[in-house]
Amino acid sequence: MNRAQQAYYLAKQKFSSNIPDLGFGIQTETLNYLLSTHSSGNAAFNYGISRHDQVPSYVGAVFAVPATDVNSEAVSDEITTVAILCEADTPGSIKPTTPTYQNGELSCGEGTTDLSR
């Protein structure tokens, strides 16, 4: 879903708030997960919430940031996207804490581990 949000942003200069608009044909309910996405200004948050106590939940985030945050040689008014994927440290159906982007750094929320490194 992170990659789909990045492609959506590239095409439309905004993030999607619903999975069907992302255009990759994924179901929002599967045997193991309830999937959702929402956008808020310059960020999109993508959730895979476990339907089982033994399976971890996930949250991904995509942020639209100044390209100079990623590449010092980028054009100053250019925008790019950065993404992170986090896994809940404890299995179960609790919605993971959202990741953040501050001072040029992506971070997973409390109680989650960064899987994108």
pLDDT at 116: 87
CA distances (Å), origin 50, targets 16, 20, 75:
22, 20, 41
pLDDT at 48: 98
Q: pLDDT band at 24, cuts 50/70/90? A: confident
Q: Is the pLDDT of residue 105 over 80?
A: yes
Domain count, the chain: 1
Residue 76 near residue 99, CB atoms below 8 Å: no
pLDDT at 34: 97
Four-point Cα dihedral 29, 36, 14, 22, nearest 10: -10
pLDDT at 84: 98
What average pLDDT does range 25-46 have in this prediction?
95
What average pLDDT does range 4-12 have in this prediction?
96
* Domain region containing 31: 2-114
Condensed to tens digits (0 to 9), the pLDDT of residues 71-93 reads: 999 988 999 999 999 999 999 99
HSE toward the beta carbon, residue 117, CA cutoff 13 A: 8
What integer best gives the mean pLDDT of the chain? 95
pLDDT at 33: 97
| Cβ partners under 8 Å of residue 91, min gap 6 | 50, 52, 53, 54, 55, 56, 57
